[in-house]
Amino acid sequence: MSRGRIERGLFELYDEDPIAADERIWGRLADPLSRRGFLRGAGLSTLGAALGMSIPFGRSLPGGLVPAAFAATTEPFMIDGKDPGLVVLNDRPLNAETPAHLLDDEVTPASRLFVRNNGIPPASGRAEDWTLEIGGEAVASPRTFRLSELERDFSRYTYRLQLECGGNGRAEFRPRARGNQWTTGAVGCPEWTGVRLSDVLARCGVKPNAVYVGYYGADLHASGDPTKVVISRGVPMSKALEEETLIAFALNGEAIPALHGAPLRLVCGGWPGSVSGKWLQRIDVRDRVHDGPKMTGKAYRVPCRPVAAGAEVDDADMCIIESMPVKSLITSVRSGGVHAGAEPLPVAGFAWAGDRAVSAVDLSIDFGQTWSRGRLSPPANRLAWQRFESVVRFPMPGYYEVWARATDSAGGQQPMVVPGWNPKGYLNNACHRIAVRVV
């Protein structure tokens, strides 16, 4: 009786040992002891054969990096009110990301905004019955506001605010971290309308010992236990009191959809999306760093100092994620497309940098050996993403990757490959790469 052959997937091999996977699949590396080795000779021929064409700049493709043309694809799955192109990563709770080519709008439509849930959304109720409680140790006069009071008694503001899941890009970390395996699409920049959190807190009075705010929502724990809080995160007072931090009741001029926190949510642009609590029912002003569920341990934290990949890290050595790192996304061109080489290829997308602005975006077609500067537009307002545009020209037919690299206002720059590993797979801001087949 013969033993059956076990087939193993491309990404499974790269999970175990990226350099060994290069050797096994494509051929010899120039330096098999180096994780930054480069493909040569027979390896390039094998990879070119798999792609169906030559790779003009293939000698510059870093070893251990899966070509963008082989990115995983998933069949469409319909979600009510959503573009059918969204990719569902989990259905309990529901989490879905948006392919980059569907994010080419200056203002992200609700139908194309990623979905990140930690629990089960609450049953829809009447907006006019919704209330928001303001309490906590460091509030002078606790109060409860009806949604209608917030809309009537406070000035309303509209901002484009970029939201990104802290785990966006988790799928590229090796060894893999547990959690939804986001690629690039857990990000968006809609217009949010609401009242400033600072105005509401001023109405209640904030004591001098205030340190943090923490939110509580109406979503149900995945276990179904109504006594368990799903998630309760927060931000320091400095972030809570920013002009752009909103208690929002509208998205793109319409009532917030159920999946995005209807009828009321917190929006703190530029920080992990998990601090922008949905289905908002209560905000506590704390005299300490908030300690609700998913504020402690390793949740939404990274090592305070660099660690080796796969290392065990004590909770005491983990620091809370605050402003998100600089990042960019090519949105005008779908990865894997075919392009007529005689014509220049317009390339556009968006870049963002947490609390900072973006100062430059550069593009490369030779795996990062040379870069060309793109045109960058200013943000619509602070904490909005910024449009970049460029034109690339290919010297000959073959397989190419267009890479985008953004630089922020403090000089921080995207790394060409995945940055330092962390236990939960947060803050991957490696250059975005798309595959282009030039004929």
Please report, in tens digits, the pLDDT of each residue of the chain (439 residues total).
Answer: 333 333 345 556 666 677 676 666 566 444 444 434 556 665 666 676 667 678 898 888 887 777 887 665 445 557 889 999 999 998 889 999 999 999 999 999 999 999 999 999 998 767 889 999 999 999 999 999 999 999 999 999 999 999 999 999 999 999 999 999 999 999 999 999 999 999 999 999 999 999 999 999 999 998 889 999 999 999 999 999 999 999 999 999 999 999 999 999 999 999 999 999 999 999 999 999 999 999 999 999 999 999 999 999 999 999 999 999 999 999 999 999 999 988 999 999 999 999 999 999 999 999 999 999 999 999 999 999 999 999 999 999 999 999 999 999 999 999 999 999 999 999 999 999 999 999 9
**Sheet strands (E) in 239-313:** 246-251, 254-255, 265-267, 280-286, 301-303
Q: Is the pTM of this model over 0.85?
A: yes
| Residue range 339-358, pLDDT digits in tens | 998 899 999 999 999 999 99
Which option is the CATH number for 87-320: 3.50.50.60, 3.40.30.10, 3.90.420.10, 3.40.50.1110? Answer: 3.90.420.10
Answer left, alpha or beta for residue 32, where phi above 0 means left and psi between -120 and 50 means alpha. alpha
CATH 2.60.40.650 domain residues, the chain: 327-438
CB contact set of 153 (below 8 Å; sequence gap of 6+): none
| CA-to-CA dists, residue 172 to 96, 180, 202, 232, angstroms | 17, 12, 43, 28
Rounded Cα gap, residues 125 and 13, in angstroms: 48
- Give the Cα separation of 83 and 87 in Å (integer): 10
Which residue in the block uniquely carries the two structure tokens 């907006």? 127
Residue 137 dihedral angles phi and psi, to the nearest 5°: -65, -25
Residue among 58, 52, 119 at smallest CA distance from 293: 119
Does the structural domain 327-438 have CATH classification 2.70.98.10? no
Output the CA angle 294-300-302, nearest 5 degrees. 135
Domain with CATH 3.90.420.10 in the chain: 87-320
CA distance 52 to 56: 13
Distance CA 71, CA 226 (A): 39
Alpha carbons 138 and 123: distance in angstroms, whole number: 32
Nearest Cα residue to 361 out of 384, 389, 383: 389
Bridge partners of 251, per DSSP, are 192, 254
> Residue 337 contacts by C-beta under 8 Å, 6 or more apart in sequence?
435, 436, 437
Task: Say if residues 405 and 414 touch (Cβ distance below 8 Å).
Answer: yes
Q: Is the dihedral of CA 109, 191, 231, 324 positive or negative?
A: positive
